[in-house]
Structure 1
Amino acid sequence: MPQPLPTEPPVESVWDYPRPPRVEETTEHVEVELGGVVVAATDRAWRVLETSHPPTYYLPRDAFVDGALRPADGHTWCEWKGQASYFDLVAGERVALRAAWTYPAPTAGFEAIAGAVAVMPGLVDRCTVDGEVVVPQPGGFYGGWITGRVTGPFKGGPGTRGW
């Protein structure tokens, strides 16, 4: 089992996040950029917090500019939130395939994010939280957003599958 890194407020350890995860509303300013364009911006989002994972940010659908969300094929299943549907993100000629997802009808406890949209930060040009550039969660599978506000170690990289 990994050893959590020490923290001092306002830094949060992802090892203090719960399992099952919880949803927390945030008023941080969140932006998503693709193709040199801000395709989403909001001061009202939700963070899903789960042990060993950096937060995944869910933005209200109306935070996205018209035409930025294009429905994509396929679904996945989360043991906590239920069935996810996907979007390609579009900015002019630039397309990030399956870079965003939503839970149209999430399971109990996750109703707050119904219809909200999460973005995989490693598939777009840049995501920011209160102006800080996000580092994508390692491994390319999970959609966590790493900022200076959180510390790990983080699940997703090599050797972390069993965490």
Structure 2
Amino acid sequence: MTDTPDRPILQPGIDHPLELREIDDQVRIRVGDEELAGAAQALELREHTCSPVLYVRRSDIAPRFLQRSMQTSWCPYKGKASYFHIRLKDGSRLANAVWSYESPFAHIAAIKDRLAFYPDKVSVERLQATPA
């Protein structure tokens, strides 16, 4: 994908709502029996008719797991997404399993540099918060 100034930029609204919130639960991220994050903080994004997506801080994932991809995509509500492959201990790689908005639009700035994972490639499990 090339950067072009003619891409649409849209604001969320009644016809396409975006709701971002911190969740109380931490999340565990795994590929098979390999743990990428044991107890990460996450933001949950609910967007229009899409399934909710959890975004974790990049610092919660060990850098050895991530390899930048050349793939990008464009969302008119969030901006340009960059992708990462996941490198596993056995040398295998899950292509473009992770995405991140490194310069999201102002109305969704809280997801900047956070990571989201494709659920068909990575297990993202919510850990129940323990009552105080």
TM-score normalised per structure 2: 0.78
Partner of 1:59: 56
The alpha-carbon distance between structure 1 residues 18 and 24, as it changes in their structure 2 partners (threshold 3 A), is farther
Amino acid in structure 2 at the alignment position of 1:110: I
Amino acid in structure 1 at the alignment position of 2:19: R
C-alpha separation between the residues in 1 aligned to 2:102 and 2:30?
24
Unmatched 5+ stretches in structure 1: 1-16, 132-163
C-alpha separation between the residues in 1 aligned to 2:63 and 2:32?
15
Partner of 2:116: 118
Amino acid in structure 1 at the alignment position of 2:98: A
CA deviation string 1:89-124 (max 9, x = no partner): 122123110000100000021111100000001012
- Does residue 127 in structure 1 map to residue 124 in structure 2? yes
Q: Report if the CA contact (8 A) 2:29-2:37 is conserved.
A: yes
Partner of 1:33: 30
* 1:24 alignment partner, one of 18, 21, 26: 21
Partner of 1:70: 67
Q: CA RMSD in A?
A: 1.9
CA deviation string 1:112-150 (max 9, x = no partner): 1100000001012x221126xxxxxxxxxxxxxxxxxxx
Q: Report if the CA contact (8 A) 1:99-1:120 is conserved.
A: yes
TM-score normalised per structure 1: 0.64
Partner of 1:104: 102
C-alpha separation between the residues in 2 aligned to 1:73 and 1:106?
18
C-alpha separation between the residues in 1 aligned to 2:58 and 2:75?
20
C-alpha separation between the residues in 2 aligned to 1:37 and 1:18?
40
Partner of 2:9: none
The alpha-carbon distance between structure 1 residues 44 and 58, as it changes in their structure 2 partners (threshold 3 A), is same
Amino acid in structure 2 at the alignment position of 1:68: F
- The offset of 1:22, in angstroms, is 1.9
Q: Which portions of structure 1, spanning 4 or more consecutive aligned residues, are displaced by more than 3 angstroms?
A: none
Unmatched 5+ stretches in structure 2: 1-13
C-alpha separation between the residues in 2 aligned to 1:46 and 1:83?
19
Query: Identity percentage over the alignment?
Result: 25
